[in-house]
Amino acid sequence: MKPSRVSWSAEALRVPLTGTKGRSPTPEQHPHTIIPPPPNFTLGTVQSDQYRSPGTAKPRLVHWITRWSSVIGHSREHASTALESRGGALHHCTPRSALRLVIVPPFPQVSSRPESGKMPHAYPFLTPEQKKELSDNALKIVAPGKGILAADESTGSVAKRFQSISVENTEENRRFYRQLLFTADDRIQPCIGGVIFFHETLYQKSDGGKQFTQVIKDRGIVVGIKVDKGVVPLAGTNGETTTQGLDGLYERCAQYKKDGADFAKWRCVLKITPTTPSSLAIKENANVLARYASICQMHGIVPIVEPEILPDGDHDLKRCQYVTEKVLAGVYKALSEHHVYLEGTLLKPNMVTAGHSCSHKYSPQEIAMATVTALRRTVPPAVPGITFLSGGQSEEEASVNLNAINKCPLHKPWALTFSYGRALQASALKAWAGKKENAKACQEEFIKRALANSAASQGKYVSSGDGAAAGESLFVANHAY
């Protein structure tokens, strides 16, 4: 086959031949190879690695297509077809020379292999009806004036609470105490939007034989369930942890939904020291929270995302704010990557406070400004509500700081309310003291704190300091439950 010089239209790309050994041939000595540029140009470079004689144009074309295809990620057949559709191409080379081609674009993507850096495609896993259910339940929980009663303490945590009032930690005592909270009079209904259950409590009944879940639902309150399995060490870190429980979570959520739960909680724990939280701990816990959230939403359960930064330590307010921002930024990046529907979630963060051992005491207004600033920098406005954990604050501190947060002059696009355990129950537990005759006193203390935090969630709380344990610190070092 006689070598030919190919002419193309004005859009053609002219590439001179370059010898691989000795002096480069001049255009007068050797003709140019001219090929048309495909559309949609990008930049790349191809160098053939074999020598071909002028009489073997077909093998050379095949070799060139194979080399080009391996670089831009397209099939050999597609590249060949594309060239032929433009009139074919014969490449004029001489022995001991190599073809050098500067490409300005790939062909349309046909490979099933994703290109590096290409935007992933989201495959919708929630129907409009499912999204509406999730969003409606999230909004119901954080309706104006409402927050969450966290009654999800594990059996071990309840044992510590009962020990403080000299009460035996039996299943019946746990059932009876939680019954007192769930059956407090109608004054709690404008205050409590959701109750988080522990697994055991979800299947317990009232004295009248009614399931606790039904008792709560009959009062217009949403039922929640704790689904994590506690923290475990994160290897290679300075005492940091991650949370276990993803194994079997898909099946557990399906069952919990059938049994009446419409939202769930999963707690991850980070701590502040000179070397923590590490990047590994932030990423690992964020990814675990995101995976949990997506599994919950697949079953119509609103996930409460809880990345708690412990108050242990002597760090100041500025350090806590910085860490909180980094942790929340990591969490919402992970939630985005897992395609979590933010309108159907709630966030349960720590307030931005100084470490428990910090020598400087900050005002509620300073805490509020640091907290709202951190949230504004990291939490999308699509999130319906933020339900703060009390983090070892006394009942009164938790209410006063929540009130200051809601009075903060910065714009706040989310509901800012409470998800308190100890800060709603400390006085009630002390008033009960394990005696049935103290049931009414226990409920009154619980109602008092519920009303206080309801007002605080609207920026209307006026501190009174009343309560059997209102001013007592509830801090527990390295708190777990």
What CA–CA distance (Å, rounded) separates 57 from 90?
Answer: 6
| Dihedrals phi, psi of 410, to nearest 5 degrees | -70, 155
- In sequence order, what are the beta bridge partners of 192? 147
Cis peptide before 277 (omega within 30 of 0): yes
Q: How far apart are CA 179 and CA 187, in angstroms?
A: 16
Question: Rounded to an integer, what distance in angstroms lies between the CA atom of residue 364 and that of residue 374?
Answer: 15
Phi, psi of 263 (to 5 degrees): -145, 165
C-alpha–C-alpha distance, residues 280 and 159, integer Å: 33
Q: Which residues are catalytic?
A: 306, 348
User: Amino acid identity of 375?
Assistant: L
Q: Kindly list the distances between the CA atom of residue 100 and the CA atoms of 51, 210, 362, 387, in Å, as whole numbers in the listed order.
A: 12, 81, 69, 63
Residue 161: strand, helix, or coil: helix
Cβ–Cβ contacts within 10 Å for residue 387, how many? Answer: 27
E strands within 61-213? Answer: 97-98, 100-103, 147-151, 192-197
Integer Cα distance of 360 and 371 in angstroms: 17
CA atoms of 212 and 255, how far apart (whole Å): 16
CA-to-CA distance for 26 and 208, rounded, in angstroms? 100
DSSP label at residue 272:
-
For the chain, the straight-line distance linking the first and the last C-alpha, in angstroms and rounded, comes to 82
Are the C-beta atoms of residues 189 and 143 closer than 8 Å to each other? Answer: no
Considering only CA atoms, which of 354, 352, 340 is closest in space to residue 386? Answer: 352
Residue 199: is it exposed, middle or buried by C-beta count within 10 angstroms (0-12/13-18/19+)? Answer: middle
Query: Which of 354, 449, 347 lies closest to 399 in space, CA to CA?
Result: 449
What phi and psi, each to the nearest 5 degrees, are found at residue 399?
-75, -45
Beta bridge partners of 264: 225, 303
